[in-house]
Amino acid sequence: MTTLLSVRNLTMRFGGLTAIDDLSLEVPAGRITGIIGPNGAGKTTLFNCLTGFYKPTFGTLRLAHPRRGEIRLEALASHRVARDAQVVRTFQNIRLFPKMTVLENLIVAQHNVLQRASRFSLAGLLGLPGYRRAERHAIERAAMWLERLKLEALADHAAGDLPYGIQRRIEIARALCVEPVLLCLDEPAAGLNPRESAELNELLLYLCRELGMTILLIEHDMSVVMNVSDHIGVINYGRKIAEGPPDKVKHDPHVIKAYLGEDDEVGEIEGVAP
Amino acid sequence: MSAIVFAHHSMTPAERLRDAGWVAFVGLVLGIPLIGLTTVDVGGRLAVDTRFGLLAVFVAAAFSGRLALRWALDRLRTRKLARDRTSTATAADRARGAQRAVNLLGWIALGAAVALPIFYSDNRYVVDTATTVLIYVMLGWGLNVVVGLAGLLDLGYVAFYAVGAYAYALLSTQFGWSFWEALPVAGAIAAGFGILLGYPILRLRGDYLAIVTLGFGEIIRVILVNWTELSGGPNGIGSIPRPSFFGLEFARRAPEGEQTFAGFFGLEFSAMHRIIFLYYLILVLALLTHVFVSRLRKLPVGRAWEALREDEIACKAMGMNTTHIKLSAFAIGAMLGGFAGVFFAARQGFISPESFTFTESAIILAIVVLGGMGSQMGVVLAATLLVLIPEFGRNFAEYRMLLFGMAMVLIMVWKPGGLLAHREPTLRLKPLDTAARGREGAR
């Protein structure tokens, strides 16, 4: 089992507040890694460091890119993390382009490829065949993901007008159009009903098992995390308190303490899932 | 559901009377000092006179006006609800209908624009006003790139208009460049200024962006006023050469060895020739702008602008370099403003900083917002309205601007999203026509 991403001694301070404190973590390639922890534990901060939105105070984030060799993510600006390292994220509070159609959202995700093909818009303005071909490919790729995520009937609807659960799926489809080496999902099950979150499980397993994608997942919904994750890291107060397969983590006394407080009788953490 | 909403909105006669009564009461309170009391001159001294009869008329007018307005609004709403309930049109049908209407409107507008000078070939006022409309259309289309598509609120757009105008004025009067030589260069200079403005405000958004762009517009104007050696200061630059028709001057007599337009075509000289030529020139420039912007919108850069307007953080997460996207929007918008400026200078023959005040920026922005952000056809409608309303309002003398303001308020109440708020997607998975045919086949 090779490691795709290795986080070493990551520290993120905001003034006097230490959001992440000396965190080390390995993300194995081709697996689903879950990150859990109570509210305010530093999970989203970890994502923001990973995807270039924050510059870590200290520590390294090494990505073993299958084609481009080792990339140090902490040195890259956010757009380069997505473009060059192909580490792509979704957001806890969905961030689609609401007035644009679902298809346009997925085409915008392929901006860099298309922009290169349009030669600073010159080839595009003239409608040269090279650009037309690139645009057709982009639409085909978008159509493929729309079909796999059962969204093709909604392709020409404005993304912002669609129901919440569907918007979550569109955001994942859009991220997939960037061809991620590492897909980071920030609470993809938040706000989903039980049926939708069961569908999400299926989707994540499909992406990982069938397509060999590496997924890093922040989630509060234990039915999702415990069922799909191969590997779970638990964070509390910015520190890693446990790491391992779901069954081991579930029974770890530190984890139970973090979720339920001290001196509690309950032995399973499913009970606290919101 | 709709029945409940409907019931909630319809008022009983008693409620209507009470509603109108309130309005009349407010009218009465305001009316006592405004209408009821008036000062009169009694033998060189001021005295207060009362006009309660007139006040009663006003209050009665407010009462009955409110009743009539409520009744009309309720009726409109009832009809709309009934139509919505019975209509079976799908979203796709409506989108197709809207798109068709916009296209039709566009072709009609184009036909009217081309035919206008033929029908008004001896009416200088009409052709001049139409030329002004087209200048604002072009400016609106330019600003539409920055504000409507990229979502960057720019309150200093007039700066680029000024840069284009002064660039042409200086190039032509100092170096003898012709209109056509100066046009691309002035556009490039304006684009350069666009990038110059773009850099310091890359990190700003919303209100802060608006303040800095406002400042930039003023800085350019203040420089033009004070840098007398370059710009002639408040006196401006005069005797700017007029554009020629492929080297043929619009003049009564040609200089040695050259021909005039009228002479070449064997026409009687008329001052209208140049006016009409200028009109068609700005029409062509505006149409080129339209084709250029519409095509850009459907290219990656155009979609990137719209994505930037929708969510900048998501853009970054998709690997898009937002710096490039913002600067390209500023540069393209500024370039189009610069082109319009060149035309303005060439048409007027004289420019001074007074033509480039904040009011101009505000009017151009109003055109974009009133038209419906990002809508090309909306800009045409709004520019026509905003130029024509004050023109028609000339009869109302000092109430002209009041009329103008009232029209704007009414439009925003009636259509909060702008005159044409419909957004046509840049591409579709299923073209609208085949989608419709497929559904009809299934029926």
End-to-end CA distance of chain A: 33
> Domain limits of chain B?
2-82, 99-243+273-414
- Distances from the Cα of A27 to the Cαs of A167, A230, B265, in angstroms? 27, 10, 79
pLDDT digits (tens, 9 = 90+) for A67-77: 898 999 988 99
Supply the angle between the helices B271-297 and B322-348 in degrees, to the nearest 10.
Answer: 170
Whether B121 contacts B272, CB under 8 Å: yes
Instruction: Tell me how far apart the alpha carbons of residues A5 and A60 are, in angstroms, rounded to a whole number.
Output: 10
Search chain A and give the residue with CA nearest B294: A125
| Interchain CB distance below 8 Å, A103 and B301 | no
Top residue of A86, A89, A91, A104 to mutate, by most chain B CBs within 10 Å, is: A104
The beta-carbon neighbor of A115 closest among B91, B301, B427 is B301
Q: What is the pLDDT of residue B142?
A: 95
| Interchain CB distance below 8 Å, A114 and B300 | yes
B434 at the A interface (CB within 8 A)?
A: no
B90 at the A interface (CB within 8 A)?
A: no
Instruction: Tell me how far apart the alpha carbons of residues B296 and A118 are, in angstroms, rounded to a whole number.
Output: 11
Which range is least confidently modeled, A110-124, A235-249, B406-420? Answer: B406-420
Q: What is the pLDDT of residue B433?
A: 59
What tokens appear for B198 in the block?
Answer: 């773009």
Give chain A positions within 8 Å (CB) of B301: 115, 118, 121, 124
Residue B70 pLDDT > 50: yes
User: Structurally, what CATH architecture does the domain formed by B99-243+273-414 represent?
Assistant: Orthogonal Bundle (1.10)
Q: Span B128-147, mean pLDDT? A: 94
End-to-end CA distance of chain B: 28
Give chain B positions within 8 Å (CB) of A141: none
Alpha-helical segments (H) within B349-399:
358-371, 376-392
Q: What is the pLDDT of residue B441?
A: 42
Q: How many CB atoms lie within 10 A of CB B206?
A: 10
Q: What is the pLDDT of residue B432?
A: 63
| Interchain CB distance below 8 Å, B316 and A157 | no
Residue B3 pLDDT > 50: no
Give chain A positions within 8 Å (CB) of B92: 156
DSSP-based helix, strand, coil % in chain A, nearest 5: 40, 25, 35
B318 at the A interface (CB within 8 A)?
A: yes
Residue A132 pLDDT > 60: yes
B299 at the A interface (CB within 8 A)?
A: yes
pLDDT digits (tens, 9 = 90+) for B73-102: 888 888 877 777 776 666 667 777 878 888
Search chain B and give the residue with CA nearest A98: B310
- CB pairs A-B closer than 8 Å: 122
Q: Span B34-45, mean pLDDT? A: 84
B242 at the A interface (CB within 8 A)?
A: no
